Amino acid sequence: MTMELKPLFGKVALLGIGLIGSSMAHAMRRADLAAHIAGYARSPETLDAAKRIGFADTLHDTPEAAVRDADFVVLATPIGAFGELAQAIAPQLKTGAIVSDVGSVKAAVVRDVALHIPAGVHFVPAHPIAGTEQSGPEAGFAELFDGRWCVLTPPEGTDAQAVETVKMFWRRCGSEVELMDAKHHDIVLGITSHIPHLIAYNIVGTAADLETVTQSEVIKFSAGGFRDFTRIAASDPIMWRDVFLNNREAVLEVLGRFYEDLAALQRAIRWGDGEALFNLFTRTRAIRRSIIEAGQDTPAPNFGRSRARRN
């Protein structure tokens, strides 16, 4: 008996080939998921870089050209551009094609994109929870999604076979897959991703603006904890602007909880309530342990930053 192994898709179009899009291309090559990978980017610099690296079979400067005859189309630009992109490609989509995305917000995205998807085309929204603080086509690598979760938020009535295919796609990219309601996704990611980014951006801004502490002092003594926040605060500004503009409700809700808790902590410090501080600081240790046990972070101290000089 012979088993014929063929790529999952004939042609895949990546609309956006930054960190996530280019990593998907590398992961697709690794697992032989596409017979043809087409990449679209707006800027000539991005297209040149992609050409040099060679992760796509064809490169296009319009989304319409990229999606022609594609079986799987992935929106991978900052989410603010999704609506316009979906509108532009709609007339070119072939019947039976699957459209997906990698946006960090789902409710707003599903709303903006879904209304442009023609009958006979399946829309399966997705969000791979993976990334680094770097951006652009040079930042991508095949292993980015390994062991990470990818959340699918198909609206009710989505074609079951299309959902299965997208699940299979992400599994073969190295991820585990979970299905979720779009609104629930947005609140889960609000606490696990959006608020952490907001807080990190904010504290780095606060540090930059303190008159009593020089910039050079902030940099020199950043190993006390601050430097960890600067990694997240170095994430792509356009991507994150669009996340906050599109997940306003959930972000403001979780932020309200964060405020409340911080006020209680502030009060404990003001009144010297050591027990309240100790109790919180003990409780938070357990979550770290669970994250490590779940394989979602390294157990190595300091994230395994080299022990060598200049670690």
Instruction: Choose the binding region for a second copy from 47-55, 62-70, 116-124, 201-209 (rule: CB under 8 A).
Output: 201-209
For position 84 contacting a second copy by CB under 8 A, the verdict is no
Size of the site for a second copy (CB under 8 A): 116
Nearer to a second copy, 160 or 245 (CB): 245
For position 296 contacting a second copy by CB under 8 A, the verdict is yes
Selected from 134, 160, 161, 179, the binder of a second copy by CB under 8 A is 134
Selected from 9, 169, 170, 240, the binder of a second copy by CB under 8 A is 240
Selected from 115, 160, 179, 269, the binder of a second copy by CB under 8 A is 269
Among candidates 130, 173, 139, which has minimal Cα distance to 53? 139
149: which strand partners? 176
* Least distance CB 148 / a second copy (angstroms): 5
For position 305 contacting a second copy by CB under 8 A, the verdict is yes
Nearer to a second copy, 10 or 241 (CB): 241
Nearer to a second copy, 58 or 193 (CB): 193
Torsion, Cα 277 280 285 286, to 10 degrees, reads 160
For position 2 contacting a second copy by CB under 8 A, the verdict is no
For position 223 contacting a second copy by CB under 8 A, the verdict is yes
Selected from 49, 53, 88, 218, the binder of a second copy by CB under 8 A is 218
For position 248 contacting a second copy by CB under 8 A, the verdict is yes
For position 193 contacting a second copy by CB under 8 A, the verdict is yes
For position 210 contacting a second copy by CB under 8 A, the verdict is yes
Residues listed for the chain: 311
* Least distance CB 131 / a second copy (angstroms): 8
